[in-house]
Chains A and B, each alone.
Chain A
Amino acid sequence: MTSTIEAPRSPYTRSAKKRGLNWEKWGWIYMRVSGVVLIVLIFGHLFVNLMLGEGVSALNFAFVAGKLASPFWQTWDVLMLWLALIHGGNGMRTLVNDYATSRISRGILKVAILLSVVSLIVLGTLVVYTFDACPAGSPADLLPAVCSTL
């Protein structure tokens, strides 16, 4: 019994050159570029939220609202949101292509991935830019320090 496996990285014949964008190539490049940026963004996020001060036990509305009241952290978190969801969604798409064997299951799973990625990007972006760090009527001890100076 013999089985042959092509040598890795052996050239394969491409179909006649199609016009337009090579989406798979740009997806491949996106995974690497966004991955490098995400290392900086997520390591910074983890360091500020879990390592500095009391770490996870200091997390509450006052901490998060205090951060998100500044344009710096708004930009940081929205960048992280978009880059990570698209990176993760494209990675999940790769797994679906590899492991979902029927055309229908691939279609359903990829639509589900697309819907969750798009809806969470919209939700997260709206939350960052529309939320109120100092909601009226909330007890002052739950609010960030910036609210008392208003």
Chain B
Amino acid sequence: MPQTAGTLDSQQKTTSRRPAGTLYRGNTGMWSWVLHRITGVAIFFFLLVHILDTALVRLSPEAYNAVISQYQTPIMGLGEVALVGAIVFHAFNGLRIILIDFWNAKYQRVLFYVVIGLWVVTMLGFVPRHLINVFSE
């Protein structure tokens, strides 16, 4: 009913018959959880590669420089923006998870917006400086 829509919360608004709107199902709780998993997997696979490329310092300066220069191309520079974005989200949302576990779960929604806000501020500090370093070669 349209006249009462303003007073309904998101749980009642849905047309789905399935239950929704618990801590981890639907809305911010679910999407922060999904993003935490996706960024975690991405960071894990980068970590595997990053240890292998750093291990080249044991081989020779030439071998290490040849590989690390691949990280300095414009395309990889944009990849590093994505990587840092994933790390910063995973870090701040990890702190949010700790606060939910040890402090109070009722603040999970507002904490999600705090995470997004801190992410934006951190990326505003990082991205311009990084892109200048990448593209002013």
Contact = CB atoms under 8 A, between A and B. Distances in A.
Interface of A: 1, 3-5, 7-9, 32, 35-36, 38-39, 42-43, 46, 50-51, 54-62, 64-65, 68, 81, 84-85, 88-89, 91-92, 95, 116, 120, 123-124, 126-127, 130-131, 135, 138-139, 142-143
Contacts of B69: 60
Contacts of A123: 51-52, 55
B31 interface: no
8 contacts: A8-B22, A32-B94, A46-B87, A91-B44, A123-B51, A127-B57, A131-B58, A142-B61
Interface residues of B, number: 46
The 9 nearest A-B residue pairs measured at CB: A55-B133, A61-B61, A88-B44, A142-B61, A131-B58, A35-B94, A61-B64, A127-B58, A39-B91
A39 B94 contact: yes
A8 B23 contact: yes
B120 interface: no
A32 B80 contact: no
Contacts of B94: 32, 35-36, 39
B1 interface: no
Given A60-B69, A120-B51, 6 more contacts: A5-B19, A36-B95, A57-B133, A64-B68, A95-B37, A131-B58
B106 interface: no
A74 B54 CA distance: 13
Interface string B70-90: 011000010010001001000
A39 B115 CA distance: 14
A82 B63 CA distance: 25
B133 A135 contact: no
Contact of B43 (A5, A8, A43, A88): A88
A78 B86 CA distance: 22
A8 B130 contact: no
Nearest to A42: B87
Contacts of B136: 57
Interface string B37-57: 100110110011001101101
A35 B40 contact: no
Given A46-B84, A92-B41, A61 B134 contact: no
